[in-house]
Amino acid sequence: RPVADQLRALTAGDRKALTRLGIRLGQELIYMPALLKPAAVEIRALLWAVYHDFDDPPAPPGRVSAPLDESLPAGFYAAVGYPPAGTRAVRADRLEKLAAAARKLSRQGPFMATPVLASLVECPPGELAGVLAALGYRAVQDQTGVSFTRERHRRHKGRAKRKREADAHADSPFAKLRGLLIAR
């Protein structure tokens, strides 16, 4: 979300160039698969520790996901390619796979957290709810159990609000256009 405007500004050629450089523009994350290899993760963890003046560099997760260490800032996990999701740090490529699978399931309506979904991020089924919540899914309890639905995106509301605010300003181009249309 912080770079959504920049992503929208990319041309097809820009996207192809980024792909050729090994950069993945996912629905949830932007990452480089080459930097998710264990050696690269270890180096980034060490660099992060040196930059943040940690005496003992924290051990990188090393697996597809790991429980969050509360003694480390969330910035550490993001720096090594394991963004926090719920109570877990999940490798960027696997978080993207889980997000894609959940999106596909949510198109058909509410869905259950299955062992297959949990295996995508190698987490215990009980922790999958927190990971899905971090991806924007809401747990709903009904008579069949817990299912998940996609939260509505608030950015549309924000965009509409900004448009109304822009329309409200007398100096806005929309106000000038409205004046021209009314004059006709």
Give yes or no for residue 131 having a pLDDT over 90. Answer: yes
Q: What is the pLDDT of residues 38-74, one digit of tens each?
A: 999 999 999 999 999 888 878 888 789 999 998 888 7
Give the range among 20-29, 125-134, 144-153, 169-178 with minimum mean pLDDT: 169-178
pTM for this prediction: 0.77
**Comparing C-alpha atoms, which of 119, 123, 152, 117 is closest to residue 137?**
152
Buried b (16+ CB within 10 A) or exposed e, 115-143: eebbebbebeeebbbbbbebbbbeeeeee
Please compute the mean of the pLDDT values over residues 23-33 and round it to a whole number: 92
Identify the helix (H) or strand (E) that includes residue 59. Answer: none
Give yes or no for residue 156 having a pLDDT over 50. Answer: no
Please compute the mean of the pLDDT values over residues 101-118 and round it to a whole number: 92
Please compute the mean of the pLDDT values over residues 120-130 and round it to a whole number: 92
Please compute the mean of the pLDDT values over residues 90-103 and round it to a whole number: 95
Give yes or no for residue 99 having a pLDDT over 50. Answer: yes
Strand ranges, E, within the chain: 24-25, 30-31, 65-67, 84-85, 88-90, 111-112, 137-142, 145-150
Distance CA 43, CA 55 (A): 15
